[in-house]
Chain A
Amino acid sequence: MRNRRGAYLLGALLLVGTNLCGLAIPWLLKLAIEALQAPAKAGYTPAQYGAMIAAAAVAQGIIRVFSRTTLLNAGRRIEYELREDLYAKLLTLDRTYFSNWRTGDILSRLANDLTNVRMLLGFGVLSLLNTVVIYTASLILLTRISPFLTLCSVLPFPIMILIVKQMSASMFRISKRTQEALARLTTRVEENVSAAAVVRAYCREDGEIESFGAVCDSYSEASMAMAKIRGLMLPVMAATGAIGTLVILFVGGNQVIRGELTLGGFVAFNGYLAMLVWPTIMFGWILNLVQRGAASMTRLSEILNALSQVVEPEQPVDPGHIKGEIEYRNLSFSYGSAEMLRGIDLKIARGARIGIVGVVGSGKSTLVRMIPRLFPVADGSLFIDGIDLNRLPITRIREAVGFVPQETFLFSRTIAENIGYGKPGATREEIERAAQIAGLSGDLTRFPQGLDTLVGERGVTLSGGQKQRVSIARALIKEPSILILDDPLSAVDADTEEEILSALSGYYGKRTVLIVSHRLSPLRNCDRIIVLEQGSIVEEGSHAELLDLGGRYAAIHREEQLKAEIERL
């Protein structure tokens, strides 16, 4: 849109050009036939008119190519820019959006809705301009040949418009019914597949097939009704166009006989009228495109207009390097209607090692996700090195944090690229060292191409534990001041856990380390352990202190010992 106004203007001009050439042909025909009938009065010979027609045709073709490519390319360009803008917007949105919108939904907007918008801006605009140009020019020329005949031949058009309007109303109704039937069919399939175990357990396969057949039937029926009305549309259009021809044949024929109209005029008139039929048929289609495109644009606007709550500070305070001191001051956080964190007060000195435990949903992951601003934080509730988090540039804090998320996400690239993702321009040695600390060395020797093994669908499928360790290495290579491990070892066995933890403790140094875990074993080396329950800190202290307290922590500890005993049996 923005910068494409020029392209559209040019496209419109080219369309006028190509259509003028096209419209000149029937006129030249008229002159040519008149020349044939009365050679004396003619300006040129029929052969010369033929040449003129050929020249007009060639010009029409050449300009046509440019007009179509100009307009359709403009549509594509806008699609490109929109897609770019949409993606750029997605890059800035915080976690709350991604939990509300499902990935499938976002992808479908970026694919289907964007296509609808492009169709509107490309073919839609092209056809609309074409229709306007042809209509205007044809009507002028028709009137010049014979005003009375023009009036006669456009008489059926209002009737056609009425019929089409009537039909599109019922078309809309039936199309809605068809969409609903399709939605039922889709639900039916989805339920059947999701509940495959239930269907089998109760031997309902045949019953399912039968009832699916019924759903398909009602969908077919609705589709047939749609086909019927579409089938009617075509002949109606064709017939109205042809009735125009009939009018000319009869009325125009009479005029020619009476000498009120030349035969050339008669033929040209026929030609122009034929030109009007197609744009008229297209008109219904254009309306449909406009409606669909507008609906889709609204859906895209929802993404484009989304406001991230995590934004760069207006007056940033940039301390340069972040040392890693963290302070929560009465921090609360609600997500939807659920209160995830309530009144958290916590001071973490530089270089401290903090463990965070609690049951699922106690808010332990949310607590650490606040630090790299994955979620919005209220002003004055979280401080890094004594600076309000909301005053720090976002890149500065994210640079300083090495985060290993609970749900491991790796890109479909090589292992080396995945680790190197943490530090652009990392050397091979750095990647190898990070892999080693994360306990990957042993696994790497078993992969076909070592560090250069491709991960994902087209490559090697890594085990849960291997993925976690690549994710750890990716955070380590960053050399962060603050290292956050969100349940990082849930998928590795006890021996590997031991190995990684001891390697990590050599790496910690002056870094502030936060480890979230639902088990206690990874928290062994922590100076202080926080126990969270329903978003609040309920216990706090060293391992020994918490055991003495005999509260939640001690209970978790007892459970783990029981589990360990069971394991040993």
Chain B
Amino acid sequence: MHFGGIYEDETVGKVYDRRLMGRFFAYVLPYRRMLVTALLVLPFIAATKLAQPWIIKVAIDDHIVKGRMEGLPALAAAFLAVIFAESILMFTQVYLLQWVGQRVMYDIRVRLFSHIQRLSTRFFDQTPVGSLVSRLTSDIEVLGEMFAAGIVTVVGDILVLAGIVGIMLWMNVRLSLVTFSVLPVLIWVAFAFRKWMRLAFRQVRARQANLSAFLAESIGGMAVVQLFNRERDEAKEFQRLNASYVEANLPVITWDAALYAVVESLSSVAVALIIWYGGGEIVKGTLSFGSLVAFIQYIEKFFSPIRDLSAKYSIMQGAMASLERIFALLDNQDREPGALPATERTAGAAPACEGSPADGLRSICFNDIWFAYKERDYVLKGFSLQMKRGEKVALVGETGGGKTTVTRLLSRLYDVERGTITIDGTDIRELPLPALRKRIGVVLQDPYLFSGTIAYNISLGDPEALKRVEQAAAVVGADRFIRELPKGYEEEVRERGVNFSAGERQLISFARAVAFDPEILVLDEATASVDTASERLIQQGLEGLMQGRTTLVVAHRLSTIRDADRIVVIHRGEKAEEGTHAELMAAQGLYYRLYQLQFKD
């Protein structure tokens, strides 16, 4: 059997993409003053670097060779001053660049986070949490590396290189030309290196991707591998991919080593050339000893920034890949819906939803709703429901019948495909999302708790809700257990609330809904059974929660359906039955059976 498909795909990334860099530059632009300052420091750093060999030259030529001690201390002091200046300038420059880097990372991170906040619920259904987390963390970290690793200081390196060439030419044209005769070799090697390195890097990345894909799949399907006695084959295939990955790395190592060695040797050769030719000049008296020493030191400074070229290269490549992923997410336009202009309204409220808000009738109206999560696979097919203000309606039905969907559509986590939902006669699509959602309090089936204090979990950081935290907790009866905690409302919630019981977690989520004081309450009851203590807690909490609010509840508990003003049975996306508990039981229809199945213990 051969292994085809996914493992053979060769994916590649660019090292420099002008389009991506252009977009990235837009984020750097606000900090141009800092960046320019950092760049302005560069010539001064270059100057201090260039000055050091020069001072040595003067010391040798004017003092040491001539045997003149006076003035040497002054030169030593000057040397020290130059070094201190270099240190301070280097620090300033590194600090400024890191500062810009951190600001840019901050901006992109917050921008990306804000963008994600506006994306649709469908987007979150389809996107794994982990991939979003890595976009906002590791991918952005890589961008920071670009600033930290001195990609920007390449400009400075070039300045130093140009300065060295200039000074050397000024000092002695012929000796400089002789020395620089090694440069064509260096330039050729650097270009060849770039070309080969790109190819080699591509191979490495592609094979690494294959290896990781295989590994991820293999670990996920380990039980199958073991059940079918296929360990040996899998090991063989793994070995092949592993070996091909290592092999792809070997040229990279060789090229890197070659570059390093060539740079090192060329700098030695250049020094040798200086000695050979410069030596002759000294004998002829056309070159001083000091100049010779300075030449040697300059040429050493010339070669040092070229040595870590390959490290910079791989950082650049990583940054490009990250930018690509970050911008792809920023370009995702699967946004939450906005409000429709009132002119596009579908001929006012539909006929079935008459009644003005003033008389408090039919405050919520679902009219002939059609909806599908996946194309054409309709979950709701012409569902209709009217609710009066203050009414408590329980939705009952089989799992997957569309109960939860009804509640999601009301708060516009999704938009209906056909039909209208109105609140007090206004199509909910004409309301701005915040205005709509402020009126509706949602309690989800799974009471999600954030890390933070209890007070934070009830208010979610909203200043208005924060004022009502204790009051809200009292309404649902959560105050009793909260007060008994060592730190009360300031008690920290650990990982998703493991330090609280299921009932307590429910009560915190009830209190959250009350703290936001909505006029309409949408409640998806938890299906999981809880212990009797928790059950009693929840029971009391619910009463406080629903007090005086129009309530739509997906019911899983006996007491809830008994307390409801009306029960609506959803079957296959349609309203099948409707009435009070007694009426529906008497009818002996669908509800009668569901009741036996779901609510009888």
Chain A positions within 8 Å of B, measured between CB atoms, are 22, 25, 28-29, 32-33, 35-36, 39, 46-47, 49-54, 56-58, 60-62, 64-65, 68-69, 72-73, 76-77, 79-80, 83-84, 87-88, 90-93, 95, 98, 103-104, 106-107, 110-111, 182, 185-187, 189-205, 207-213, 216-217, 220, 223-224, 227-228, 230-232, 234-236, 238-239, 242-243, 245-246, 249-250, 253-254, 256-257, 263, 266-267, 270-271, 274, 372, 374, 395, 398-399, 401, 403, 405, 409-414, 417, 420-422, 424-425, 454, 456-459, 474, 478, 559, 562-563, 565-566, 569
**Chain B residue nearest in CB terms to A182:** B137
Q: For the complex formed, measure the closest distance between the CB of A462 and the CB atoms of chain B, giving whole angstroms.
A: 14
* B231 interfacial by beta-carbon distance below 8 Å: yes
Across the interface, do B227 and A398 meet the contact criterion of CB distance under 8 Å?
A: yes
Inside 8 A of B234's CB, which chain A residues have their CB?
91
**Chain B residue nearest in CB terms to A256:** B64
Across the interface, do A61 and B437 meet the contact criterion of CB distance under 8 Å?
A: no
Inside 8 A of B88's CB, which chain A residues have their CB?
235
Across the interface, do B229 and A399 meet the contact criterion of CB distance under 8 Å?
A: yes
Inside 8 A of B254's CB, which chain A residues have their CB?
65, 69
Q: For the complex formed, measure the closest distance between the CB of A30 and the CB atoms of chain B, giving whole angstroms.
A: 10
**Within the complex, which residue of A50, A65, A409, A563 is in contact with B220, where a contact is CB–CB below 8 Å?**
A409
Across the interface, do B118 and A205 meet the contact criterion of CB distance under 8 Å?
A: yes
Which 8 pairs, one residue from A and one from B, show the smallest C-beta to C-beta distance? Answer: A50-B276, A61-B265, A46-B279, A235-B87, A57-B268, A53-B272, A227-B98, A68-B257
Inside 8 A of A563's CB, which chain B residues have their CB?
398, 597
CA distance A197 to B72 in the complex (A): 75
Inside 8 A of A200's CB, which chain B residues have their CB?
121, 336, 411, 413, 437
Across the interface, do A76 and B249 meet the contact criterion of CB distance under 8 Å?
A: yes
Across the interface, do B265 and A103 meet the contact criterion of CB distance under 8 Å?
A: no
Inside 8 A of B113's CB, which chain A residues have their CB?
189, 192, 208-209, 212
Query: Do A405 and B224 form a contact, CB below 8 Å, given A72-B253, A90-B219?
Result: yes
Across the interface, do A412 and B250 meet the contact criterion of CB distance under 8 Å?
A: no
Q: For the complex formed, measure the closest distance between the CB of A368 and the CB atoms of chain B, giving whole angstroms.
A: 12
Across the interface, do B228 and A207 meet the contact criterion of CB distance under 8 Å?
A: no
* B578 interfacial by beta-carbon distance below 8 Å: no
Query: Do A190 and B129 form a contact, CB below 8 Å, given A51-B276, A72-B253?
Result: yes
Across the interface, do B235 and A87 meet the contact criterion of CB distance under 8 Å?
A: yes
Across the interface, do A224 and B272 meet the contact criterion of CB distance under 8 Å?
A: no
Across the interface, do A91 and B253 meet the contact criterion of CB distance under 8 Å?
A: no
Q: For the complex formed, measure the closest distance between the CB of A505 and the CB atoms of chain B, giving whole angstroms.
A: 23
Across the interface, do B124 and A84 meet the contact criterion of CB distance under 8 Å?
A: no
* B105 interfacial by beta-carbon distance below 8 Å: yes
Query: Do A216 and B109 form a contact, CB below 8 Å, given A60-B265, A198-B448?
Result: yes
0/1 string, B101-115, CB within 8 A of A gives 1: 011011001100110
Can you name 9 A-B residue pairings with CB atoms under 8 Å?
A33-B279, A87-B238, A189-B113, A197-B124, A201-B413, A205-B118, A228-B98, A239-B84, A412-B6
CA distance A458 to B209 in the complex (A): 14
Inside 8 A of B319's CB, which chain A residues have their CB?
none
* B222 interfacial by beta-carbon distance below 8 Å: yes
CB < 8 Å A-B pair total: 392
Across the interface, do A411 and B217 meet the contact criterion of CB distance under 8 Å?
A: yes
CA distance A410 to B121 in the complex (A): 29
**Chain A residue nearest in CB terms to B129:** A193
Inside 8 A of A234's CB, which chain B residues have their CB?
90-91, 94
* B223 interfacial by beta-carbon distance below 8 Å: yes
Across the interface, do B226 and A91 meet the contact criterion of CB distance under 8 Å?
A: yes
Across the interface, do A267 and B272 meet the contact criterion of CB distance under 8 Å?
A: no
Q: For the complex formed, measure the closest distance between the CB of A63 and the CB atoms of chain B, giving whole angstroms.
A: 8
Inside 8 A of A35's CB, which chain B residues have their CB?
279
Q: Which of B52-60, B155-163, B543-551 forms contacts with chain A? A: B52-60
Q: For the complex formed, measure the closest distance between the CB of B531 and the CB atoms of chain A, giving whole angstroms.
A: 16
Across the interface, do A103 and B110 meet the contact criterion of CB distance under 8 Å?
A: no
Across the interface, do A412 and B110 meet the contact criterion of CB distance under 8 Å?
A: no
**Within the complex, which residue of A104, A207, A253 is in contact with B460, where a contact is CB–CB below 8 Å?**
A207
**Chain B residue nearest in CB terms to A204:** B460
Inside 8 A of B219's CB, which chain A residues have their CB?
90, 98, 103, 106-107
Q: Which of B239-247, B364-372, B416-424 forms contacts with chain A? A: B239-247
Inside 8 A of B220's CB, which chain A residues have their CB?
103, 409
CA distance A25 to B274 in the complex (A): 12
Across the interface, do A250 and B76 meet the contact criterion of CB distance under 8 Å?
A: yes
Additional A-B contact list (4), CB under 8 Å, known A84-B238, A200-B336: A36-B282, A76-B253, A193-B132, A249-B75
Across the interface, do B105 and A220 meet the contact criterion of CB distance under 8 Å?
A: yes
Inside 8 A of A249's CB, which chain B residues have their CB?
56, 59, 75-76, 79
Inside 8 A of B110's CB, which chain A residues have their CB?
209, 212-213, 216
**Within the complex, which residue of B256, B277, B590 is in contact with A68, where a contact is CB–CB below 8 Å?**
B256
Inside 8 A of B280's CB, which chain A residues have their CB?
46-47
Q: For the complex formed, measure the closest distance between the CB of B12 and the CB atoms of chain A, giving whole angstroms.
A: 16
Query: Do A194 and B265 form a contact, CB below 8 Å, given A234-B90, A412-B217, A413-B4?
Result: no
Inside 8 A of B52's CB, which chain A residues have their CB?
242, 245
Query: Do A57 and B265 form a contact, CB below 8 Å, given A76-B253, A267-B296?
Result: yes
Inside 8 A of A414's CB, which chain B residues have their CB?
4-5
Inside 8 A of A212's CB, which chain B residues have their CB?
109-110, 113
**Chain A residue nearest in CB terms to B114:** A209
Q: For the complex formed, measure the closest distance between the CB of B463 and the CB atoms of chain A, giving whole angstroms.
A: 9
Across the interface, do B268 and A202 meet the contact criterion of CB distance under 8 Å?
A: no
**Chain B residue nearest in CB terms to A63:** B261
Query: Do A253 and B222 form a contact, CB below 8 Å, given A202-B460, A424-B1?
Result: no
Across the interface, do A566 and B235 meet the contact criterion of CB distance under 8 Å?
A: no
Q: For the complex formed, measure the closest distance between the CB of A478 and the CB atoms of chain B, giving whole angstroms.
A: 7
**Within the complex, which residue of B6, B106, B133 is in contact with A189, where a contact is CB–CB below 8 Å?**
B133
Inside 8 A of A411's CB, which chain B residues have their CB?
217, 221
Query: Do A246 and B91 form a contact, CB below 8 Å, given A33-B289, A87-B238?
Result: no
Inside 8 A of A230's CB, which chain B residues have their CB?
94, 98, 148
CA distance A255 to B481 in the complex (A): 84
Across the interface, do B91 and A235 meet the contact criterion of CB distance under 8 Å?
A: yes
Across the interface, do A83 and B102 meet the contact criterion of CB distance under 8 Å?
A: no
**Within the complex, which residue of A69, A195, A211, A566 is in contact with B597, where a contact is CB–CB below 8 Å?**
A566
**Chain B residue nearest in CB terms to A35:** B279
Q: For the complex formed, measure the closest distance between the CB of B342 and the CB atoms of chain A, giving whole angstroms.
A: 21
Q: For the complex formed, measure the closest distance between the CB of A115 and the CB atoms of chain B, giving whole angstroms.
A: 11
CA distance A106 to B136 in the complex (A): 22
CA distance A422 to B219 in the complex (A): 18
Inside 8 A of B480's CB, which chain A residues have their CB?
none
Inside 8 A of B86's CB, which chain A residues have their CB?
235, 238
CA distance A251 to B141 in the complex (A): 48
Inside 8 A of B275's CB, which chain A residues have their CB?
28-29, 32-33, 46, 49-50, 53
Q: For the complex formed, measure the closest distance between the CB of A318 and the CB atoms of chain B, giving whole angstroms.
A: 14
Inside 8 A of B264's CB, which chain A residues have their CB?
22, 57, 60-61, 64
Query: Do A421 and B114 form a contact, CB below 8 Å, given A189-B132, A198-B448, A230-B94?
Result: no
0/1 string, B290-334, CB within 8 A of A gives 1: 001100110010000000000000000000000000000000000
**Chain B residue nearest in CB terms to A187:** B451
Q: Give the most central of A57, A69, A246, A420: most B CB within 10 Å.
A: A57
Inside 8 A of B593's CB, which chain A residues have their CB?
562, 565-566, 569
Inside 8 A of B567's CB, which chain A residues have their CB?
none
CA distance A474 to B227 in the complex (A): 11
Query: Do A211 and B461 form a contact, CB below 8 Å, given A36-B279, A91-B235, A231-B91?
Result: yes
CA distance A95 to B226 in the complex (A): 10
Query: Do A217 and B223 form a contact, CB below 8 Å, given A46-B276, A195-B450, A227-B148?
Result: no
* B388 interfacial by beta-carbon distance below 8 Å: no
Query: Do A569 and B260 form a contact, CB below 8 Å, given A196-B124, A227-B94?
Result: no
CA distance A68 to B310 in the complex (A): 14
CA distance A242 to B81 in the complex (A): 11
Across the interface, do B250 and A76 meet the contact criterion of CB distance under 8 Å?
A: yes
Inside 8 A of B130's CB, which chain A residues have their CB?
104
* B212 interfacial by beta-carbon distance below 8 Å: yes
* B341 interfacial by beta-carbon distance below 8 Å: no
